[in-house]
Structure 1
Amino acid sequence: MSGDGATGDSPDEWEAVFWDIGGVILALDSVQGAHAEFVADLIERHDVEMTVEEAIDTWRTTVGDYFRERDGTEFRSARDGYHLGVEAIVGEEIPREEWQPRFDEIVRDSVEPISGAPQTIERLADRNLHVGVISDVDDAEGREMLEGFGVREHFDSITTSEEVGRTKPDPAMFETALEKAGVAPERSLMIGDRYDHDVRGAADMGMHGVAFGADDGPAVAYRIESPEEVLEIVDGTRDE
């Protein structure tokens, strides 16, 4: 099935596969676990009179409000949100150099990839097509995460919201990625876990949206249950 502004039938040959990071390459539950560990460590280090549960709730509310207050698809750095979260828990501003190294250490040691994603990316890199990232992440953190998962070298391009200054589904995100790749949108796949941001945003640009955990809707060209199924689409053994 093809989507809004979409492309109709699959092409005879694909030119590009683009990946979101969070929820597609990166297991989001591992991120939540890392943040919970950091918050527990934070209240212990600063002798904060909160339970871990209360501190985690404060963290999530503060960071969530920070992102909800942005103007449309305006980019907001996650690092700035985390800084506000630390301040809300401790009750005073803590210099970044005091909390960030520990945060980075915990995240680096705790986050995990989606099962099968690194292997699929490596196998795609052996094919004659462009393999890219389109993700609403801080640029350095996104690249470091891909490096940690051992897949950074397999990507031909990485397009982040920090670089573009907007977040998906802003057309600028997809336009920038397609321009870097030099590929036709109708010969491109976009794998995402959010319908409005990833799948419909891509379909509105003429790309084929691949839903991995995303809601159903007319913009879904393909639905997959595991990253490995992308190989079937690319190889032409999977119908729409």
Structure 2
Amino acid sequence: MKLDNIEWLFFDVGSTLVSEEKPFLHRLYEIADAVNEPFDAIQNKVTQLYKEKKKGEQVLIQEYGIERPRWRSEDEELFPESYECLERLSKKYKIGVIANQLPGTAARLEKHGVLKFIDIVIASAEEGLEKPDRRIFELALSRASCKPENAVMIGDRVDNDIIPAKKIGMKTVRVKQGMWKYWDALGEEEQADFEVDDLNAVIELFGWKFENN
């Protein structure tokens, strides 16, 4: 599939632009401590649950009946390729964010030094809508004055990013980072137009459009 007539690239945040590994592991350590089990055992259970297309840590929290540990967003870090990816692609495309995030998404992106490359931030906490609700995608496209066929959704989750974006006519790129990389896409509905392992591959996927100008 060619990526002709694309005007906007919309990115997810967690496990797409931002690595959540540190806060995720912190949460697993707190779960292990709360239920008095070895960390490795908890990590293995969570990984297996993700392979079953379940949010593993949340399943364990419910099963054990423990309080949900606070998500430490201050421990999130940009992936090494994120800055270059946004910097380069923003020279050719408009850049947006569509993400399920805690309040203050734009401020965190500013702290990471990449907000200057982003034209629109649509985040669940501020909008009162969450992916995979198609309305959050429609809201982003409306604010961007962009038709679905002229936009690409780039994210790590099949359920939250790929399926709903495809349903409204956007092109899709799955970045297989974070725990949702274990999701085995089945059928056309779950299959992204493109699958890549990191943001360097996203640069390559779109980069030729301006490198050859």
TM-score calculated relative to the size of structure 2: 0.71
Question: Which of the pair has more CA radius of gyration?
Answer: 1
State yes or no: 1:200 paired with 2:163.
yes
- Structure 1 stretches of at least 4 aligned residues deviating more than 6 Å after TM superposition: none
Corresponding residue for 1:116?
81
Percentage identity across paired residues of the two chains: 24
Deviation readout 1:41-96 (Å, 9 max, x if unpaired):
xxxxxxxxx94664998xx99x837x98xxxxxxxxxxxxxxx646xxxxxxxxxx
Corresponding residue for 1:89?
none
State yes or no: 1:182 paired with 2:145.
yes
Corresponding residue for 1:144?
107
Aligned 1:1-240 pairs, distance under 5 A: 9-35=1-27, 51=33, 54=36, 64=58, 85=68, 107-108=73-74, 110-127=75-92, 129-140=93-104, 142-213=105-176, 214=181, 215=183, 216-217=185-186, 218=188, 219-235=191-207
Instruction: Compute the displacement of 1:146 (Å).
Output: 1.2
Question: 3-state DSSP class of the match of 1:132?
Answer: strand
Question: Which structure is higher in RCO with an 8 Å CA cutoff and minimum separation 6?
Answer: 1
Instruction: Please tell me the residue identity of whatever aligns with 2:141.
Output: L
Question: Residues of 2 paired with 1:225 and 1:179: CA distance?
Answer: 30
Deviation readout 1:194-233 (Å, 9 max, x if unpaired):
1111011100010011111154342410111111222333
For the Cα contact (< 8 Å) 1:210–1:224, is it kept in 2? yes
For the Cα contact (< 8 Å) 2:156–2:174, is it kept in 1? yes
Question: 3-state DSSP class of the match of 2:199?
Answer: coil
Question: Residues of 1 paired with 2:125 and 2:8: CA distance?
Answer: 22
Question: Residues of 2 paired with 1:144 and 1:34: CA distance?
Answer: 22
For the Cα contact (< 8 Å) 1:20–1:133, is it kept in 2? yes
For the Cα contact (< 8 Å) 1:17–1:132, is it kept in 2? yes
Q: How many residues align?
A: 182
- Which stretch of structure 1 is more off in the superposition, 203-212 or 115-124? 115-124
Q: Unpaired segments of 5 or more residues in structure 2?
A: 47-54
Question: Residues of 1 paired with 2:33 and 2:139: CA distance?
Answer: 44
TM-score calculated relative to the size of structure 1: 0.64
Question: Residues of 2 paired with 1:211 and 1:123: CA distance?
Answer: 19
Instruction: Please tell me the residue identity of whatever aligns with 1:143.
Output: A
Question: Residues of 2 paired with 1:183 and 1:189: CA distance?
Answer: 11
Question: Residues of 1 paired with 2:204 and 2:5: CA distance?
Answer: 13
Deviation readout 1:147-192 (Å, 9 max, x if unpaired):
2221011100000112332211111110011111111211211111
RMSD between aligned residues: 3.3
Change in CA separation of 1:22 and 1:229 when aligned onto 2, cut-off 3 Å: same
For the Cα contact (< 8 Å) 2:100–2:131, is it kept in 1? yes
